[in-house]
Amino acid sequence: MTVTADNDVAVHLINLLIVDDHQMVRDGIKVMLQSKKDVFQFIIDEAENGEEAVKKVMRKPYDVILLDYQMPDMSGAQTAENILKYQPRTKILALSNYDELSFVERMIASGTRGYVLKNIEPTQLLAAIKTILENKTYYSNEVSNKLLDAAGKKAVDQILEKHGLTKRELEVLQMIAQEMTNEEIAERLFVGKRTVDTHRQNLLNKLHAKNTVGLIKAAYKLELVK
């Protein structure tokens, strides 16, 4: 819903639910949101646990729900899953003190649209809310970096599995792509030159390459080097 403020600027009314088991946290979030009235005007409700949040959702639709990850009776992920059964179009933003990858992945899997930390600045929180309302995702910088690192590791694991390479062979391949000699690779890895020779031969066999040029082409094809 859109209303017009005194300065004739369109302001969007947002029904928002804060779910957190700490009153101080809920109060702090409310202060942040109420300090940013130039774009959104928030109609704010509160719930101190997952069970109460689900009951509120069953009675009233919400545009946005700010949801704590760790609560005593029902986890944030479980709460998100239950909420989305009743209000599948509601945008849920996880708000947590924890940036552990397992927590983030669990909340993403439950259907949340973003994950930010509780030390977020008011302007960033407003940006996060605006972003998820546009059907996009929003993650704080710390969380984004962890997700990117995990995605990179997953990609490497997929390469290893697909081509039957070991992590050491992958490491040697990257060095070959950097035009390092066997002697230089051996020195970098603190192994003998004969060991590097063996790794190189294994790479030739597994990647069906005929020579060093073929290995370098394979490295670029696998996006191991840019």
Q: Is 162 exposed, middle or buried (0-12, 13-18, 19+ CB in 10 A)?
A: exposed
152 within a domain of the structure (yes/no): no
Q: Are residues 18 and 85 in the same domain?
A: yes
How does residue 10 score in pLDDT terms, banded at 50, 70 and 90?
low
84, 45: one domain? yes
Last residue of a domain, one of 90, 105, 140: 140
* 54 domain residue, yes or no: yes
State how far the Cα of 203 lies from the Cα of 130, in Å rounded to an integer.
49
Out of 105, 140, 175, a domain closes at: 140
pLDDT of residue 56: 96
Q: Are residues 28 and 136 in the same domain?
A: yes
Mean per-residue pLDDT, 128-141: 89
The token pair at 162 is 């697909």
Domain presence at residue 87: yes
State the burial class of residue 12 (Cβ atoms within 10 Å of its Cβ: 0-12, 13-18, 19+).
middle
65/123 same-domain check? yes
CATH of the domain at 205: 1.10.10.10
Task: Please indicate, yes or no, whether residues 16 and 63 belong to a single structural domain of this protein.
Answer: yes
Residue 223 CA, distance from chain mean position: 22
**Predicted local confidence at residue 218, as pLDDT:** 83
Q: What is the CATH number of the domain that holds 115?
A: 3.40.50.2300
Count of structural domains within the chain = 2
Q: Are residues 28 and 118 in the same domain?
A: yes
Answer yes or no: are the C-beta atoms of 110 and 77 closer than 8 Å: yes
30 and 78 housed in the same domain: yes
The reply to whether 177 and 131 lie within a common domain is: no
> What would you report as the CA-atom Rg of the chain, rounded to the nearest whole angstrom?
25
Biggest distance spanned by C-alpha atoms of the chain? 79
Q: Given a cut of 90, is residue 47 above it in pLDDT? A: yes
The neighbouring-strand residues paired with 19 are 47, 67
Q: How do strand 10-19 and strand 91-96 relate by DSSP bridges? A: unpaired
If asked whether residues 11 and 65 sit together in one domain, one would say: yes
Give the residue numbers spanning the domain of 96. Answer: 2-140
Residue 150 lies in a domain: no
Highest-pLDDT range among 13-27, 90-104, 148-162, 169-183: 13-27
Residues pairing with 47 in the sheet: 19
Q: What percent of the chain has pLDDT over 90?
A: 37
Residue 146 within any structural domain of the chain? no
pLDDT per residue over 155-194, tens digit each? 677 777 778 888 888 888 888 888 889 999 898 888 899 9
Structure tokens at 116: 């930010």
- The 10s digit of each residue's pLDDT in 100-109 is 888 888 888 9
Q: 2: helix, coil or strand?
A: strand
Q: Rounded mean pLDDT of 116-141?
A: 89
